[in-house]
């Protein structure tokens, strides 16, 4: 497995080399909105290779990067059987997955934990997977209602300010127009005196270039993925913080899941633990590399001012209550306060578990041993 993972790290894995359709083997389709040769598509190729190896050729996956289903089509496409499985972004579907989206808005809680930036997403992914698998029957039910089974999570690198002016203090952020990547970041922008703007990250380049935006709240890896390095001159890590973690890295059509044998289901979960580990590790590593190389691209990296950092931490502590209240009022999530408490405890646990993890293969084994392997495949998702 180490070889499989290492082969894909920061490489353009050739999807055409996947061995598919051997006699007697079952093949399941996997759709992702990531384009070929991206972090997400390369991790998906590793998933397919790992699944074949774990099952000794009994089960294979055919990966469709940015071709079968887009991110906005993924949930409905998997539900209706256009793909057997795929990558689902939960915030795209707020009414379908309210219980799961509640947790996806809690990522800024990472700023209250003593966690290095490079491990933040790794901890969140572990907590998210364990929460859905073992602590949220409401989440499992809402997936079933969409004819889907959640098989694992993933997470981005830390979110920060990528700007065309220096924005590192409360005075500097007031009045600035910030692209927000989610409701929690929009509320933060308003709390510190800025104006949130809701546009996709793919439109951020032109908006920054034309002065429509002053900053985008993004992971630093977007400097490369979306070429924001061409229009960004200033980066401020440390605020607002959190990661993007509202992802089902491998949601499986429920009928397909039911048609698999128990050993096959276990292999899908094991390979999905590898998929989530690889994509999350590569996002953390890519984000760290972009910060390291930013000065060489004439991008200044600033320390966060103490006043802005303090205001951010105060906001996070209060926003937890807002999140619980919003989901109870808007979506009828009656146990929202309990869910927040449960997830916060799991997040603290996973911050400790990922401490010092040295590579994606070790991370994948940690996820597998701690939570994925403990899923009862004779009952889960059925």
Place domain 2-157+244-291+334-374 in its CATH homologous superfamily: Bacterial extracellular solute-binding protein, family 7 (3.40.190.170)
Residue 220 pLDDT greater than 90, yes or no: yes
Return the higher-pLDDT residue of 201 and 95: 95
- The mean per-residue pLDDT over the stretch 284-303 comes to 96
Residue 15 pLDDT greater than 60, yes or no: no
Residue-level pLDDT at 16: 30
Q: Tens digit of pLDDT for each residue in 24-58?
A: 579 999 999 998 988 999 999 999 999 999 999 99
Whole-number Cα distances in Å, 365 to 251, 273, 371: 20, 8, 10
Q: Please provide residue 87's backbone torsions phi and psi, each rounded to the nearest 5 degrees.
A: -95, 120
Residue in 50, 33, 51, 43 with CA at minimum distance from that of residue 13: 43
Total H helices, total E strands in the chain = 15, 11
Residue 260 pLDDT greater than 70, yes or no: yes
First to last CA, the chain: 29
- What is the bridge-based pairing of β-strands 85-89 and 148-150? unpaired
Residue-level pLDDT at 24: 57
Residue-level pLDDT at 3: 40
Residue 8 pLDDT greater than 90, yes or no: no
Residue-level pLDDT at 370: 97
159-242+299-319: which CATH topology?
A: D-Maltodextrin-Binding Protein; domain 2 (3.40.190)
Neighbours of 328 (CB within 10 A): 16
Residues of the chain with CATH 3.40.190.10: 159-242+299-319
Rg (CA), the chain: 20
Percent of the chain exceeding pLDDT 70 equals 94
Please state at what angle helix 262-293 crosses helix 360-370, rounded to 10 degrees: 140
Residues of the chain with CATH 3.40.190.170: 2-157+244-291+334-374
Residue 120 pLDDT greater than 90, yes or no: yes
Which residue spans within the chain are E strands per DSSP? Answer: 26-32, 59-65, 85-89, 148-150, 159-163, 177-179, 195-197, 215-219, 234-240, 247-253, 300-301
- The mean per-residue pLDDT over the stretch 121-129 comes to 97
Report the mean per-residue pLDDT for the chain. Answer: 92
- The mean per-residue pLDDT over the stretch 301-310 comes to 97
Cis link prior to 240 (omega < 30° from 0)?
Answer: yes
Residue-level pLDDT at 73: 95
Residue-level pLDDT at 114: 87
Residue 22 pLDDT greater than 60, yes or no: no
Residue 14 pLDDT greater than 70, yes or no: no
Residue-level pLDDT at 103: 95
Q: Tens digit of pLDDT for each residue in 194-206?
A: 999 988 888 899 9
């Amino acid at each position: 497995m180490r070889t499989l993972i290492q082969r894909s790290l920061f490489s353009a894995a050739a999807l055409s080399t996947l061995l598919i359709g051997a006699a007697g083997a079952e093949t399941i389709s996997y759709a992702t909105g990531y384009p070929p040769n991206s972090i997400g598509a390369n991790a998906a190729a590793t998933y397919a290779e790992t699944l074949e190896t774990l099952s000794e050729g009994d089960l294979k996956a055919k990966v469709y990067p940015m071709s079968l289903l887009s991110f906005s089509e993924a949930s409905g496409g998997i539900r209706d059987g256009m793909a057997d499985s795929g990558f689902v972004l939960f915030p795209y579907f707020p009414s379908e997955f309210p219980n799961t989206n509640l947790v996806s808005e809690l990522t800024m809680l990472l700023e209250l934990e003593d966690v290095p930036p490079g491990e933040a997403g790794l901890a969140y992914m572990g907590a998210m997977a364990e929460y859905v698998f073992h602590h949220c029957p409401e989440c499992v039910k809402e997936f079933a209602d969409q004819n889907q089974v959640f098989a694992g999570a993933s997470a981005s690198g830390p979110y920060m300010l990528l700007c065309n002016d220096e924005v590192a203090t409360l005075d500097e952020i007031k009045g600035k127009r910030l692209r927000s990547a989610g409701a929690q970041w929009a509320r933060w922008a308003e709390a510190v005196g800025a104006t949130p703007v809701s546009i996709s990250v793919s439109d951020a380049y032109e908006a920054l270039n034309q002065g429509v935006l002053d900053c985008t709240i993004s992971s630093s890896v977007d400097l490369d993925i979306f070429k924001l390095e061409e229009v960004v001159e200033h980066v401020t890590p440390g605020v607002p913080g959190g990661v993007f973690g509202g992802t089902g890295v491998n949601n499986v059509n429920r009928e397909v899941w039911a048609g698999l044998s128990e050993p096959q289901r276990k292999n899908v979960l094991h390979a999905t633990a590898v998929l989530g580990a690889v994509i999350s590790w590569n996002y953390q590593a890519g984000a760290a590399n972009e910060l390291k190389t930013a000065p060489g691209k004439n991008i200044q990296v600033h320390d966060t001012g103490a006043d802005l950092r303090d205001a951010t931490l105060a906001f996070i502590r209060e926003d937890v209550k807002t999140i619980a209240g919003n989901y109870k009022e808007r979506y009828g999530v009656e146990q929202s306060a309990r869910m927040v408490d449960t997830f916060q405890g799991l997040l603290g646990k996973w911050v400790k578990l990922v401490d010092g993890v040295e590579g994606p293969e070790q991370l994948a084994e940690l996820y597998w041993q701690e939570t994925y392997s403990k899923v009862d495949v004779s009952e889960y998702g059925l």
